[in-house]
Amino acid sequence: MEQIILIVHLLIALAIIGLIMLQQGKGADAGASFGAGASQTVFRSAGSTNALTKATAWLVVLFFVTSFGLAMLATQKTKVADDLDLVIPAPEERVLPVLDSDLPTVDNADPAAAPMGADVPEL
């Protein structure tokens, strides 16, 4: 969905640029109006709009709608991270040293003292 909106957004932007380039500026007729004696003023009245101006206005509205849609999609993709965006590794298991006094002692002379199934190395 995001890709479709992005493509439409870019096409609208290019169309707006093209329509603006096609339009004639308000001051383009200023030199012709001085000596012609016409009833128009130097700059045309603001009430007259042509099809290019209306099309540009609609394209601008569509451009803002697609911009808003893209912004909404972008906010849905964001995730919460810590302030510095650093990955914090899981804590490692600490292996405590085993002391000789903690080990059980096995008497080699008495085989019954050894646990069942335990292989006791012979010295």
Question: For residue range 84-114, what is the model confidence (pLDDT) as tens digits?
Answer: 667 777 777 776 666 666 566 665 555 555 5
Q: What average pLDDT is seen over the chain?
A: 74
Nearest to 29 by CA among 41, 17, 20: 41
Query: Structure tokens of 57?
Result: 């206005």
Which residue is listed with tokens 């609208």? 12
Q: Rounded to a whole number, what is the distance in angstroms from the first to the last CA of the chain?
A: 75
Q: What's the whole-model pTM score? A: 0.49
User: Which tens digit of pLDDT belongs to each residue from 111-121?
Assistant: 555 555 556 56
- Which is more confident, 88 or 83? 88
Q: Has residue 37 got a pLDDT over 60? A: no
pLDDT of residue 118: 58
Distance between CA atoms of residues 121 and 111, nearest Å: 12
Distance between CA atoms of residues 8 and 19, nearest Å: 16
Q: Residue ranges per domain, the chain?
A: 1-25+51-77
